[in-house]
Chain A
Amino acid sequence: MSSIFDYTLASAREALRARKVSAVELVDAHIEAIERLDGGLNSFITRTPEQARLAAKEADTLLAKGEGGSLCGLPIGIKDLFATEGVRTTAASKILGNFVPPYESTVTANLKRDGAISLGKLNLDEFAMGSTNLTSAFGGVENPWKRRDSDAKLVPGGSSGGSAAAVAAGLVLGATGTDTGGSIRQPAAFCGITGIKPTYGRCSRFGTIAFASSLDQAGPMARNLQDCAILLESMAGFDPKDSTSVNKPVPHYEAALGRGVKGLKVGIPKEYRIDGLPAEIEAIWQQGINWLKEAGAEVVDISLPHTKYGLPAYYIAALAEASSNLARYDGVRFGERVKGDSLDALYEATRAAGFGDEVKRRILLGTYVLSSGYYDAYYLRAQKVRTLLQRDFLKAYETVDVILAPTAPSGAFAWDEKPTDPVQVYLNDVFTVPASMAGVPALSIPAGLDSRGVPLGLQLIGRFFDEETLLAAGSVLEKAASFTHRPTIHAGVSA
Chain B
Amino acid sequence: MSLDAKTVAKMARLARVGLSDEQVHTYQKEMQGIIGWVDQLNEVDVTDVPPMIGTGLAQPRLRDDQVTDGDCREKVLSNAPDREGPFYTVPKVVE
Residues of A within 8 A of B (CB): 98-100, 102-103, 199-201, 214, 240, 243-247, 306, 308-309, 312-313, 315-316, 323, 327, 330-337, 339-349, 351-352, 355, 360-361, 363-365, 367-368, 371, 377-378, 380-388, 390, 421-423, 438-439, 464-465
A312 touches B57 (CB 8 A): no
> What's the least CB distance linking A115 to chain B, in Å?
26
Complex contact B79–A364 (CB within 8 A) = no
A330/B72 in contact, CB under 8 A: no
Q: Could you tell me the distance in whole angstroms from the C-beta of B89 to the nearest C-beta in chain A? A: 8
Tell me whether B38 and A439 are in contact (CB under 8 A).
Answer: no
A-side contacts of B12, CB under 8 Å? 364
The reply to whether B59 and A247 form a contact with Cβ atoms under 8 Å apart is: yes
Would you call B44 and A367 a contact (CB within 8 A)? no
Residue of B nearest to A330 (CB): B16
Q: Is there contact, CB below 8 Å, between B91 and A345?
A: yes
12 contacts between A and B (CB under 8 A): A331-B81, A340-B91, A341-B91, A342-B91, A342-B93, A367-B15, A381-B44, A385-B46, A386-B52, A390-B55, A423-B34, A464-B57
B10-39 CB contacts (< 8 Å) to partner A: 11-12, 14-19, 27, 30-31, 33-35, 37-38
Cross-chain contact of B58 among A201, A347, A382 (Cβ < 8 A): A201
B17's closest neighbor in chain A, by CB? A351
Report the bound CA distance from A186 to B17 in whole Å: 30
- Docked complex Cα distance between A339 and B92 (Å): 12
Knowing that A246-B59, A316-B41, A367-B11 are A-B contacts, what are 8 other residue pairs whose CB atoms are under 8 Å apart, sorted by A's residue number?
A: A200-B55, A201-B57, A330-B16, A334-B80, A335-B79, A351-B16, A383-B52, A423-B33
**With known contacts A351-B17, A387-B51, A343–B41 Cβ distance under 8 A:** no
Q: Are B49 and A384 in contact (CB under 8 A)?
A: yes
The A-B contact count (CB < 8 A) is 162
**How far is B41's CA from A385's CA once the two chains are assembled, in angstroms?**
8
The answer to whether B52 touches A364, judged by C-beta atoms less than 8 angstroms apart, is no
Most buried by A among B30, B57, B79: B57
Q: Give the one of B37, B50, B81 with max A CB within 10 A.
A: B81
Once the chains bind, are A381 and B76 in contact (CB under 8 Å)?
A: no
User: B81 and A337: CB pair below 8 A?
Assistant: yes
Q: What chain A residues lie within 8 Å of B58 (beta carbons)?
A: 201, 243-246
User: Which 7 A/B pairs are nearest by Cβ-Cβ distance?
Assistant: A383-B51, A352-B18, A334-B79, A439-B55, A348-B18, A337-B81, A102-B75
Partner of B7, one of A337, A339, A355, A368: A368
Within 8 A of A (CB), among B46-81: 46, 49-55, 57-61, 63, 72, 75-76, 78-81
Cβ A363 vs Cβ B17 within 8 A: yes
Tell me which of B53, B63, B81 contacts A383 (CB under 8 A).
B53
Structural contact, A352 and B72, CB atoms closer than 8 A: no
- Residues in A with CB closer than 8 Å to B3 are 368
Task: A332 to B8: give the CA distance in the assembly, Å.
Answer: 25
Inter-chain contact B41/A100, CB cutoff 8 Å: no
Q: Quick one: which of B14, B46, B79, B80 contacts A371, CB cutoff 8 A?
A: B14
Query: How far apart sit A262 and B34, CA to CA, in the bound complex (Å)?
Result: 45
Q: Which residues of B contact A348 (CB under 8 A)?
A: 16-18
On whether the beta carbons of B34 and A102 are closer than 8 Å, the reply is no
Whether A346 lies near B91 (C-beta < 8 A) is yes
Q: Which residue of the partner chain, among A201, A361, A363, contacts B55 with CB atoms under 8 Å?
A: A201
Chain B residues within an 8 Å CB radius of A421: 33
Cross-chain contact A332 with B90 (CB below 8 angstroms): yes
CB neighbours of A365 from chain B (8 A) = 31, 34-35
Structural contact, A361 and B15, CB atoms closer than 8 A: no
Q: Which of A244, A361, A386 contacts B27 (CB 8 A)?
A: A361
Which B-chain residue is minimally distant from A247 (CB atoms)? B59
The reply on B2 being an interface residue by CB < 8 A is: no
Tell me whether A388 and B46 are in contact in the complex, defined as CB-CB below 8 angstroms, given that A316-B38, A332-B90, A360-B27 are known contacts.
yes
